[in-house]
């Protein structure tokens, strides 16, 4: 049997690395996984783009194959439009999609929480996350805004942005991999990040995004200039997403092109992206 599943990328409201609590929102950037059962019990084989490490896809699929307890093999392939190692949650989207596609191919009916837990465990095993990225996985799977405690894997709040907002994404050529973060001490910014998270819990997402960015950007060596330009051009909020180096601005539709032009630097890719169309109303708390 062959099955497909698609999940989306996400942007950061508050990065959970410093405190264990974070928030993210869904972006309509797609990652699609295809899983197909093979009669030979060879385990899992993954076909991924040349610059993508297959370890995450293999880990996610293997967890579902083990759960199915069937004497078959599983072939998995990935097609993604999400730039990797830029902070746009490509790993969460891929893991979620692989888990769902594998489960469908194997005839397993997983509830959303089971999908999330398998995805987060796979990401930890593959070394593509520091906190488990439960917030990112939730935003990728459900869409909308998800605030979580990544330490306990608990959803604290769900919400959505107004329908007239677009994301303008500044994507530098530079990549920041999780292995690049070894040795960085985030303890010094913990109070600022905690304050940003409290803003998010109160629903003040725009200020939370900017407070989070101001805390993390200097530690990560990310230039916030595109965010400053975006705000000056009419963005409602702008800041670093994930561990960067991408910057996301949120603006009303009639300002999106102006903000895009303000963020241009002649080298980076700039995309205007819809927010994820999936609604968070079905979230199981």
263 lies in the same domain as 231: yes
By the 10 Å C-beta count (0-12 exposed, 13-18 middle, 19+ buried), 120 is classed as buried
pLDDT above 70: residue 285: no
Mean pLDDT of all residues in 160-170:
96
Coil, strand or helix at 269: strand
pLDDT above 70: residue 106: yes
Between 199 and 70, name the one with better pLDDT.
199
139 lies in the same domain as 262: no
pLDDT at residue number 129: 86
Boundary of a domain, candidates 159, 183, 215? 159
Paired tokens of 140: 């990728």
22 lies in the same domain as 47: yes
125 lies in the same domain as 148: yes
For residue 115, give its domain range: 2-159
| Residues contacting residue 163 through CB under 8 Å, at least 6 positions apart | none
208-242 pLDDT, tens digit per residue, is 999 999 999 999 999 999 999 999 999 999 999 99
- Exposure of 140 in the CB half-sphere (CA atoms within 13 A): 34
pLDDT at residue number 245: 97
Q: How confident is the model at residue 144 (pLDDT cuts 50, 70, 90)?
A: very high
pLDDT at residue number 281: 46
Q: How confident is the model at residue 283 (pLDDT cuts 50, 70, 90)?
A: very low
Boundary of a domain, candidates 106, 128, 159? 159
Q: With a threshold of 0.85, does the pTM exceed it? A: yes
128 lies in the same domain as 169: no
178 lies in the same domain as 230: yes
188 lies in the same domain as 125: no
Q: How confident is the model at residue 279 (pLDDT cuts 50, 70, 90)?
A: low
pLDDT above 80: residue 282: no
Segment holding 180, helix H or strand E: none
Between 178 and 112, name the one with better pLDDT.
112
142 lies in the same domain as 169: no
Boundary of a domain, candidates 159, 187, 211? 159
According to DSSP, the residues that pair with 154 across neighbouring strands are 149
pLDDT at residue number 284: 41
pLDDT at residue number 109: 94
Percent of the chain at pLDDT > 70 equals 97
pLDDT above 90: residue 251: yes
98 close to 33: Cβ distance less than 8 angstroms: yes
149 lies in the same domain as 173: no
Phi/psi at 202 (5° precision)? -85, 0
Total number of domains constituting the chain: 2
What gap in Å lies between CA 241 and CA 36, rounded to an integer? 34
- Say which CATH number the domain at 182 has: 3.30.70.890
pLDDT averaged over the chain? Answer: 94
Distances (CA, A) of 270 to 152, 170, 195, 222, 277: 35, 5, 30, 16, 21
Q: How confident is the model at residue 91 (pLDDT cuts 50, 70, 90)?
A: very high
Between 48 and 260, name the one with better pLDDT.
260
The runs of H, that is alpha helices, within 109-189 are 112-126, 134-142
Q: How confident is the model at residue 182 (pLDDT cuts 50, 70, 90)?
A: confident
118 lies in the same domain as 59: yes
145 lies in the same domain as 169: no
173 lies in the same domain as 48: no
Percent of the chain at pLDDT > 90 equals 85
- Say which CATH number the domain at 90 has: 3.30.230.10
């Amino acid at each position: 049997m062959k099955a497909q599943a698609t999940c989306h990328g996400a942007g950061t409201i508050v990065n959970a690395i410093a405190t264990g609590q974070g928030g993210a929102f869904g972006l309509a950037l797609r990652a699609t996984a295809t899983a197909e059962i093979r009669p030979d019990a060879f385990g899992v084989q993954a076909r991924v783009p040349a610059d993508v490490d297959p370890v995450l896809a293999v880990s996610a699929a293997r967890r579902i194959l083990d759960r199915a307890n069937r004497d078959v093999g599983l072939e998995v392939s990935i097609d993604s439009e999400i730039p990797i190692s830029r902070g746009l949650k490509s790993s969460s989207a891929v893991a979620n999609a692989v888990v769902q596609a594998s489960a469908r191919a194997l005839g397993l009916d997983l509830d959303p929480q089971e999908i999330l837990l398998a995805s987060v465990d796979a990401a930890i095993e593959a070394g593509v996350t520091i906190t488990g990225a439960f917030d990112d996985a939730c935003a990728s799977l459900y869409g909308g805004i998800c605030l979580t405690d990544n330490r306990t894997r608990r959803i604290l709040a769900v919400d959505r942005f107004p329908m007239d907002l677009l994301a303008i994404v500044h994507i530098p050529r530079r990549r920041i991999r999780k292995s690049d973060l070894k040795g960085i001490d985030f303890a010094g910014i913990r109070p600022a990040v905690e304050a940003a998270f409290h803003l998010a819990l109160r629903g003040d997402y725009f200020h939370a995004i900017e407070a989070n960015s101001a805390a993390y950007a200097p530690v990560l060596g990310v230039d916030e200039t595109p965010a400053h330009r975006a705000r000056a051009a009419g963005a409602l909020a702008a800041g670093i997403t994930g561990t960067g180096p991408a910057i996301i601005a949120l603006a009303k539709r009639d300002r999106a092109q102006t903000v895009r032009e303000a963020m241009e630097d002649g080298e980076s890719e700039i995309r205007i992206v819809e927010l994820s169309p999936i609604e968070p109303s079905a979230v199981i708390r």
